Amino acid sequence: MKKWSFVLTPFFLAFVLGACSDNEETPAEDPGTEEATEQKAVTDSVEQPTDAVVVTVNGEEINGNVFNSVARQLTASLETKGQKADSTENITLIKEQALAVIVGNKLIIQDALANGHEADEEIVESRIEELKGSFEDEEAMNASLEKADFTLDDMRVQIREQLLYESYVAENIEAAEVTDEEVQEAYDGFAEASTEEETPAFEEMAPIIRQSLEQQNVSDAVYDRIDELKAEADIETHI
């Protein structure tokens, strides 16, 4: 799973919301372009029927629309790094990593519920209203959600899971503390690799570096917890 290091639910939700907004404003790509051809190859090879069950985690089914959204995010991640997402190796990697992400996400959410975490429904509805407000009207919102293979109720589920994830990480995940030595080492590496004529001072960079290292430690702790949960989980893959 650590081949793609990104924290599960919040980034997934942001991607779905971003896809909705992009679909509203971005014109369809010329099907004759190389990028469109590559995207179609990835879509045909990776994406699943939206209502099909792709994996079952402890008896809970996850459908193709969720898998497809994660796969699209991973595809975009590869493309931003200049890699060809339609290579056989990368198509296989996208499938494996998309499954790893949605399984890991579900295990964390299930553990959050088992530990008594709950999503505040007022916050859920507040964020739904924010989503609605980002579109010209309800028809435009529904059209964009449909393009992303999601409904408004699907978005409510995603928002609830984001809130559960955030609460769980805050209360149940113990990440390693970042030491001053680690911050200094990271800064020295940055300064050595920097192509800027004048590297920002350590005092200026230290808070940013510390925050980044803290976030990485949280991610590592989440992945470690997922590994523990996987060892006891009943997972059935259907693709």
Instruction: Over range 73-80, report the average pLDDT.
Output: 81
Instruction: Over range 78-91, report the average pLDDT.
Output: 78
Percentage of residues in the chain with pLDDT exceeding 90?
45
pTM higher than the cut 0.85 = no
Q: What are phi and psi of 78, to 5 degrees?
A: -65, -45
Please, which pLDDT band fits residue 103 given cuts at 50, 70 and 90?
Answer: very high
Q: Which long-range contacts (CB under 8 A, 24 or more apart) does 134-142 make?
A: 134/21, 135/24, 136/24, 140/24, 141/20
- Residues 149-176: pLDDT tens digits? 888 898 899 899 989 999 999 999 999 9
